[in-house]
Amino acid sequence: MHRWNGSDWEFLTMVDNLSEARKITIPPKGEAADHEPAKPATHPMAPGRGRHRRPS
């Protein structure tokens, strides 16, 4: 298996079959994530005076 580090592919590990590769790349559903889930983006045209708004 290889992984992309942002500029180049680097060796990660060797696996015998697809099921072992999936165990490495896809965590089990019951396992907690190491990071908190992303928050939804705010509406880009929300009311208010932003940096690129036309002055009224």
CB-based contacts of 55, cutoff 8 Å, min separation 6: 49
Q: What confidence score (pLDDT) does residue 24 get?
A: 85
- Give the integer Cα–Cα distance in Å for 43 and 55: 20
Residue ranges in 1-56 assigned as alpha helix (H): 18-25
Task: Report DSSP state, residue 21.
Answer: H
Q: Is-above-0.95 flag for pTM?
A: no
pLDDT tens digits, 21-51: 888 888 777 665 566 767 777 766 666 666 6
Q: What confidence score (pLDDT) does residue 49 get?
A: 62
